[in-house]
């Protein structure tokens, strides 16, 4: 039986040839810099009332006031944290989107007033208005992340002690 197998192997052309199989190339890794738009920046961009592609501070303040009044249907002048979550879902796209009610409620009375919300948006406006021209362009609404971020936080190389490098600002 062994003789028959050896005879068949010798008679088969190419039986002693080695076949090399290569795997398909790996897809390109994500680029180190990623552009994202924070929900609050997206909201500010939508408040561009005159359609010039920029949102002025006045347009933002008027839009924030309209958004607040749309949720404050009882005209109490303040929103509880659950109402603020309703506001965030409607205007930012998700109940848990930042800013959190804890960041906005500066007097810690568990209520968010229009002046508190506008003061927070004023700080955000100053952060996004990088060229200090008094308006936020679409480009200024973008945030550039230098490391990729997934559901588990920043991804990328670890330092020797297992720490991730910090972004410089």
Question: Is the predicted pLDDT of residue 30 greater than 60, yes or no?
Answer: no
Are the CB atoms for 149 and 34 separated by under 8 Å?
A: yes
Residue range 104-158, pLDDT digits in tens: 999 999 999 999 999 999 999 999 999 999 999 999 999 887 766 555 665 555 5
Max CA separation in the chain (angstroms): 97
Q: Which string of b and e fits 77-112 if b means at least 16 CB within 10 Å?
A: ebbeeebbbebbeebbeeeebebebeebbeeeeebb
Q: Which domains does the chain have, with CATH numbers?
A: 37-153 (1.10.238.10)
pLDDT at 116: 98
**Rg of the chain on CA atoms, in Å:** 29
Tokens of 114: 């229009």
In the beta sheet, which residues pair with residue 96?
none
Q: For residue 62, how far is the Cα from the chain centroid?
A: 25
Phi, psi of 145 (to 5 degrees): -100, 130
Residue 45 CB contacts under 8 Å (≥ 6 apart), including other chains = 37, 55, 136, 138, 141
In this structure, the strands spanning 149-150 and 111-113 are unpaired
Question: Is the predicted pLDDT of residue 67 greater than 90, yes or no?
Answer: yes
Residue range 76-107, pLDDT digits in tens: 999 999 999 999 999 999 999 999 999 999 99
169 — pLDDT class (breaks 50, 70, 90): very low
pLDDT at 150: 59
């Amino acid at each position: 039986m062994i003789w028959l197998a050896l005879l068949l192997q010798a008679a088969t052309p190419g039986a002693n040839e080695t076949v090399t199989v290569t795997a398909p190339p790996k897809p390109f890794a994500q680029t180190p810099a990623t552009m994202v738009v924070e929900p609050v920046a997206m909201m500010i961009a939508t408040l561009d009332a005159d359609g010039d592609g920029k949102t002025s501070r006045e347009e933002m303040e008027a839009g924030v006031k309209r958004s607040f009044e749309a949720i404050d249907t009882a005209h109490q002048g303040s929103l509880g944290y659950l109402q603020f979550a309703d506001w965030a879902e409607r205007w930012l796209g998700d109940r848990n989107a930042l800013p959190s009610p804890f960041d906005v409620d500066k007097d810690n009375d568990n209520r968010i007033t229009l002046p508190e919300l506008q003061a927070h948006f004023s700080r955000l406006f100053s952060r996004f208005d990088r060229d200090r021209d008094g308006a936020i362009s679409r480009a200024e609404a973008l945030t550039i992340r230098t490391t990729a971020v997934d559901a588990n936080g920043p991804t990328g190389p670890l330092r020797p002690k297992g720490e991730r490098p910090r972004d410089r600002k």
